Amino acid sequence: MRGNKSGAERTAKWNLKYDPERIKQITEAGKPTYLEHASTAFNDIHDMEIAVKGVLNTAGVPVTDVPDYLCFGREMWSKCKTHSGPLMAIEAATLIGKWVSRSLTQAVLESIRSNIFNVPAPTP
């Protein structure tokens, strides 16, 4: 029957899972893949931030507001990795509302949403 493991069985399974040598082997085996994924993500984020700065320069956004717009861009980038279509449009609208409430300009945020992430405004 499932779920009726003795204390000794549970301890053995726990000990196997948390064995430092086993964890090291698993981590070392996956390191090239982890590095490739991280490198790709870091390059994507860098490219996105350059594009956001371009929109900000065009809009004449004050330098003091740039970090907040970059945070918005990072949040959009993250959401775009897990959402798409109408759901992403709704998520983007929610993020825009959040950052407008923090004193950012809605038109600039919408420009970033549309021009960099190709996310349309949500349909009612």
d(Cα 86, Cα 62) in Å, to the nearest integer?
Answer: 32
Q: Is the pLDDT of residue 103 over 70?
A: yes
Q: Is residue 62 part of a domain?
A: yes
d(Cα 51, Cα 73) in Å, to the nearest integer?
Answer: 10
| Of 16 and 70, the one with more pLDDT | 70
pTM above 0.85, yes or no: no
- Rounded mean pLDDT of 25-44? 94
Q: Is residue 122 part of a domain?
A: no
Which of 113, 81, 111 is closest to 94 using CA atoms? 113
Structure confidence at residue 2 (pLDDT)? 64
Q: Is residue 90 part of a domain?
A: yes
Structure confidence at residue 23 (pLDDT)? 84
Q: Is residue 121 part of a domain?
A: no
Q: Is residue 84 part of a domain?
A: yes
Our count of domains for the chain comes to 1
Q: Is residue 46 part of a domain?
A: yes
Domain that holds residue 64: 7-115
18: left (phi over 0), alpha (psi -120 to 50) or beta: alpha
CA neighbours within 13 Å on the CB side: how many for 113?
23
Q: What's the pLDDT band for 13 if we cut at 50, 70, 90?
A: confident
Q: Is residue 20 part of a domain?
A: yes
Task: Identify the burial level of 72 via C-beta atoms within 10 angstroms of its C-beta, where 0-12 means exposed, 13-18 middle and 19 or more buried.
Answer: buried
Residue 44: CATH number of its domain: 1.20.58
Q: Is the pLDDT of residue 1 over 60?
A: no
